[in-house]
Structure 1
Amino acid sequence: MQPSTKTILLVDDEPHLSTVIKTCLETLKPWQTITVHSGTAALSQAQINPPDAILLDIMMPDMNGEQLLQALRQSETTHSIPVIIFTASSQHQTVNKFLEYEVAGVIPKPFNPLTLAEQIAQLLGWI
């Protein structure tokens, strides 16, 4: 039986990194990845076509990850979508701040591209 395809919304303002992540996820798992490069675009996309999960970079120019998380959690359409945070910060304060938003997990940058999809699957319970 063919596993069901999951849709992941990838929010990262770095196009090259987004391409690497998208390639990893779509090559190693039967997932569709929709990529946006701003928090504003992510909020709009998530409300129009809610994904199964959101991978969110914290540092973005227009709407940072914390602002986007707040907006997602306040919307009836998006409040229950699982979110995984990408962050280059390893400070406990930063990680703990996002865990308060009931995110599915935090993945530090840099990450291992070969194990990224499996790590995401474990955090989301998609195994």
Structure 2
Amino acid sequence: MTPHVPIVDDEAAIRLVARLGLERVAGWTVTEAGGADEAIAAVGRRRPDVVLLDVMMPLTDGPRTLERLRALPGGDELPVVFLTAKAQQSEIVRLRSLGVDGVISKPFDPMKLADDLAGVLGWERV
């Protein structure tokens, strides 16, 4: 089975780079969302294997988007990994305390993004 990953980020360039890394390098299926409303709609249309969620977005930030995702039916079990430019250990600890499955720092290597996600989630990559 091919993992399905919505990438939620307000920056189109970040979504594109992540998409290329996950689709072309790993063969995963990607849905792009520019913010919280698009993310909620994408998750409602097709249950993802994990959501890659930017922390800093202008209208609804990552933590608030996480709350909305968790409020969906089955949302408590939905794996979510934050994507953040603030990689200080104290910030990572704070983000992890919100109940996400992991944190990946920006800038990320698109060639290794699938491996990084798999590692955070404890998935085996073939």
Alignment of structure 1 residues 1-127 onto 2, 5 Å:
4-127=1-124
Q: Which amino acid aligns with 2:101?
A: A
Local SS of the residue matching 1:55: strand
* Identity between Structure 1 and Structure 2 (%): 33
Please say if residues 84 and 104 of structure 1, whose CA atoms lie closer than 8 Å, have aligned partners that are also in contact.
Answer: yes
TM-score (norm 2): 0.90
Give structure 2 stretches of 5+ with no counterpart. none
Give structure 1 stretches of 5+ with no counterpart. none
Q: Which amino acid aligns with 1:52?
A: D
Runs of 4+ displaced beyond 3 Å:
none
Local SS of the residue matching 2:77: coil
- Separation in 2 of the partners of 1:95 and 1:17? 20
Please say if residues 31 and 42 of structure 2, whose CA atoms lie closer than 8 Å, have aligned partners that are also in contact.
Answer: no
> Structure 1 residue 74: deviation in Å?
2.4
Q: What is the Cα-based RMSD across aligned positions, in Å? A: 1.4
- Separation in 1 of the partners of 2:45 and 2:81? 20
- Separation in 1 of the partners of 2:44 and 2:90? 29
Please say if residues 12 and 56 of structure 1, whose CA atoms lie closer than 8 Å, have aligned partners that are also in contact.
Answer: yes
- Separation in 1 of the partners of 2:50 and 2:119? 13
> Structure 1 residue 101: deviation in Å?
2.4
Q: Which amino acid aligns with 2:42?
A: Q
Local SS of the residue matching 1:112: coil
Aligned length: 124
